[in-house]
Amino acid sequence: MSAVDVKEVAMPLLEIEGLRVEFGTPEAPLYAVKGVGLTVAPGEVVGLIGESGSGKSLTCRSILRLIGQPGRIAGGAIRFDGRDVLAMSGEELRSLRAHDVGMIFQDPFASLNPVFRIGEQLAETLRSNRRLSRSEAAAEAVALLDSVGIPEPERRVHSYPHELSGGMRQRVMIAIAMAPRPRLLIADEPTTALDVTTQAQILELLRGLRREHDMAVLIVSHDFGVIAQTCDRVVVMYGGHVVEAGPVAELYADPQHPYTRALLESVPSLDAIGAGVRRRAIPGQPPELTERLEGCVFAPRCGFAQPSCGGVSMALEPVGERRLSACAVRPFAGASVVERGVEG
């Protein structure tokens, strides 16, 4: 089944269908992303969530064709505003990266060049993507740092990355991603390794930028709290597949896939901690890239698995007006998990 846009817009800004990403050789491939489909509508904030290794970051990197060797996009379709990304020439791809799609990478310290000042790195992006003069780029660099909440931006443009805190480096990365005024911003784990207060500030910054620029945002996270605070809709990934998608509040209150339910049940809450209740970890391990499992990829870890799960295709099917699930069994449908404290 192809990706379905739950907002039912005529033309999604981003549409991914049947995306497959492989590593290794064609004779002995490692399967990392296995037929992923998702959409992002103009102005929408979509969360992509799942355990480490589920294929979230690779899916996002595929949008900009940033899969390096020995990886490769082995199949599927990626369309941005109706244009075929996988068929773009080098020049068209550079234009997409320079003007239409901005990306905040997972590790801001590794993404910033340690030997160049912050202002130089911002100015280089501005001169390249917006054709500004040196003086115009220098002034815009200060304005961008100010727009993302960095104090004393006139002074900070002269700082090196190691002179900034983790939160400030993340703000710099957001400023660089916002420099071309993109229509879609991809944020790959934007709050990783930040303290709780700084996480909240970064999320509020992203929400503010979305409102101000009316842009779409795709946020990658393994944290349901981050998704709850930020997103309109959530897409859940497991083992290289999308297993469930839907509006955040509806999905949290009534998960339709056992993996989503297991993730929600593993989220700690203050009420549970106060009552001495221990969260249930998901038993077992995610599938290895070398594994080719028949049927549902979550079945080996699923407490609701049935013999029929061996014949599940992992295709997303409607389970409500705005909901999709890859589970054909759904033995717990209708059971609420809101009281577990993850509703945001």
Q: What is the pLDDT of residues 90-106, one digit of tens each?
A: 999 999 999 999 999 88
Beta pairing partners, 39: 15
Mean pLDDT confidence for 5-14: 63
Smallest CA-to-CA distance from 266 within 253, 277, 250, 251 is with 277
- Report the pLDDT value the prediction gives residue 344, as an integer from 0 to 100: 37
Smallest CA-to-CA distance from 110 within 67, 63, 170 is with 170
Q: Among 57-71, 73-87, 253-267, which is the least confidently predicted range?
A: 253-267
Could you give all domains of the chain from N- to C-terminal order, each with its CATH number?
14-81+183-340 (3.40.50.300)
Mean pLDDT confidence for 199-223: 93
- State which H helix or E strand residue 213 sits in: helix 196-213
CB 36 within 8 A of CB 55: yes
| Confidence at 123, pLDDT banded by 50, 70, 90 | very high
**How far, CA to CA in Å, does 343 sit from each of 46, 181, 233, 321?**
16, 32, 13, 21
CB 257 within 8 A of CB 230: no
Token pair belonging to 142 = 């200060």
- Report the pLDDT value the prediction gives residue 2, as an integer from 0 to 100: 41
CB 289 within 8 A of CB 32: yes
How many angstroms separate the CA atoms of 176 and 173, rounded?
A: 5
Mean pLDDT confidence for 20-39: 92
Phi-psi region of 86 (alpha: psi -120 to 50; beta: other; left: phi over 0): alpha
Mean pLDDT confidence for 132-152: 94
**How far, CA to CA in Å, does 66 sit from each of 70, 148, 185, 211?**
12, 26, 15, 28
As a whole-number percent, the residues of the chain with pLDDT over 90 amount to 66
CA 294, distance to chain mean position in Å, is 27
In the numeric block, the tokens 């068209």 are attached to 92
Mean pLDDT of the chain: 88
- Report the pLDDT value the prediction gives residue 8, as an integer from 0 to 100: 44
| Confidence at 26, pLDDT banded by 50, 70, 90 | confident
- Report the pLDDT value the prediction gives residue 227, as an integer from 0 to 100: 92
Token pair belonging to 21 = 């990403």
- Report the pLDDT value the prediction gives residue 324, as an integer from 0 to 100: 95
- Report the pLDDT value the prediction gives residue 35, as an integer from 0 to 100: 94
- Report the pLDDT value the prediction gives residue 194, as an integer from 0 to 100: 86
Angle between helices 118-130 and 166-178 (to 10 degrees): 10
Mean pLDDT confidence for 192-220: 91
Smallest CA-to-CA distance from 338 within 228, 204, 218 is with 228
Smallest CA-to-CA distance from 224 within 236, 213, 212 is with 236
The pTM assigned to this predicted structure is 0.88
CB 9 within 8 A of CB 82: no
Beta pairing partners, 31: 22
